Chains A and B, each alone.
Chain A
Amino acid sequence: MKLTLHIWRQKGPQEPGRFVKYELDKVNEHMSFLEMLDVLNQELIARGEEPVAFDHDCREGICGACSMVINGIAHGPQRATTTCQLHMRHFKDGDVIYIEPWRAKAFPIVKDLIVDRSAFDRIIAAGGFISVRTGSAPEANSIPVPKDVAELAMDAAECIGCGACVAACPNGAAMLFVAAKVSHLNLLPQGQPERFIRVKAMVEAMEREQFGSCSNHRECEAACPKGISVSFIARMNRDYRKALWKTVEHQGGKAEGISQFRG
């Protein structure tokens, strides 16, 4: 098939970007979207032009690297699918496709379609530790976890940190990501000791990174390649609200140590 691509090209963080139009013939419907871009890049290299920079790594839907907005939808039109797992059979001959980077204040553009998502790492770091005994592995059944709770925690833990939720949100909010990360620990017995410190610290870290607020548009859930539910956002809101009276502010020595981990 033949495609017309409008791709966002931007040389560096401070450079102005613009759309550049590319015509691409002979796109095979079995190619993934990234393979289609590989073909384009080969052509560009052969012509002596700069190839399109885009993030990718696993190409099997688990690393979350392949960030791009395709015709206004993060990761493209197929629900619950990363760009690397999106196949060209979902497009048809003659389609015009706009490809853009994630757009959010907290995700500055590095080059072309690549954005800097280290804001997510800083939020994770702010979450701190969980109090578990390290060293020899504990007896597997020593802490009982109800089956449905374990399943729910696993649903949250599916988040691959891709940032599609931020890209899709009209407010550039990171609520779905943070909610998933808060919830998968806060649901489990192992996550209880730091439960309320953690939610507060992570929400505050999210704030520092200048993500937007949650208007409950639910665009994030629609864009999430792992189908993370907005019900986790409600769960985080609940824990954050409870943190108001469940956290105690210590004075003196040890509290200093704790606040360090709060980020």
Chain B
Amino acid sequence: MKVLSFYSTTVGKKLVMAITGLILAVFVLGHMAGNLQIYQGPEKLNHYAELLRVSMPLLWTVRIVLLLSVLLHIVAAVQVTLQNWRSRPKKYAVSAYQEADIASRTMIWGGLVVAAFVVYHLLHLTLGTAHGSFKPGDVYHNVVAGFQVPLVSLFYIVANVLLALHLYHGMWSWFQTLGFSHPKYNRARRVFATVYAVVIAVGNISIPVSVLAGWVK
């Protein structure tokens, strides 16, 4: 009951968003790092993919944690955003933002595109139902053949740019939401978030770009 009354306020909802956002962000970093093994050739990448499936209980634990995180994050995001719109029903005639940036103001839109992308991504490279020549187990082939379709690559690139924007604000913002703020490290928070966002975007986007450029085939 206490937890419910806690979640009833936006402060509680934002706390849930910060924790689930962090879990997702850590996953995204690990996922990106793992994918970079594509540059070490088919054996290495396919072996890594097999490794992930060695322990089914572990795989499913991770999947369930991620699924719960995504759901909680999205539900809270929608609730909080709707409340924000209700709380400010009328815009000013002149809008003059002083600190809010494009990243902080587009969290819901970037987030929703990323959500749609994640669904597509699972159908494309995990289940293969949205893939023209899916071979179960041959991750390397699936990735390369998938990205040779320019429109598919474009969607991956756009989604990752939006994800980077989301992380640029989010990885700075969660400190504040969880109550971590100190003059000693507040400046470093901005650097941390920027580096985090750029590393993930560059790492992920390099793959479709390399495939399209013919460097990886």
Residues of chain A having any CB pair with chain B under 8 Å: 6, 19, 69, 71-73, 98, 100, 103-106, 168-173, 203-204, 206-207, 210-219, 221-223, 230-231, 233-241, 244, 249
Contacts and interface: CB of A to CB of B under 8 A. Distances in A.
Contacts of A218: 99-100
A98 B94 contact: yes
Nearest to B180: A234
Given A103-B91, A172-B84, A234-B179, A215 B107 contact: yes
A106 B2 CA distance: 26
A139 B181 CA distance: 34
B92 A222 contact: no
Contacts of B177: 214, 216, 234, 237
B163 to A, nearest CB: 18
Interface string B200-215: 0000000000000000
A72 B173 contact: no
17 contacts: A103-B89, A170-B88, A170-B97, A172-B84, A207-B10, A210-B86, A212-B84, A214-B177, A215-B84, A215-B100, A216-B176, A218-B100, A219-B97, A234-B177, A238-B179, A240-B12, A241-B178
A23 to B, nearest CB: 18
Main secondary structure of the interface of B (DSSP, over half): helix
B9 interface: yes
Contacts of B44: none
Nearest to B8: A207
Interface string B76-103: 0000100110111111111111111000
Contact of B9 (A104, A207, A219): A207
B180 A213 contact: no
Instruction: In the A-B complex, list the 5 residue pairs whose CB atoms are closest, starting with the nearest.
Output: A238-B179, A213-B10, A72-B96, A212-B87, A234-B181
Contact of B11 (A106, A170, A171, A203): A203
A237 B179 contact: yes
Interface in B158-184: 169, 172-173, 175-183
Given A203-B11, A231-B181, A234-B179, A213 B88 contact: no
A7 to B, nearest CB: 11
A219 B93 contact: no
Given A104-B87, A244-B2, A221 B94 contact: no
B16 to A, nearest CB: 11
B87 A173 contact: yes
Nearest to A245: B2
Interface string B95-115: 111111000110100000000
Given A207-B10, A234-B176, A212 B90 contact: no
B104 to A, nearest CB: 5
A106 B87 CA distance: 7
B83 A213 contact: yes
B13 interface: yes
B107 to A, nearest CB: 7
Contacts of A222: 98-99
A6 B94 CA distance: 11
Contact of B173 (A6, A105, A171, A216): A216
Contacts of A100: 92-93
Interface centre among B83, B92, B173 (most CB of A within 10 A): B92
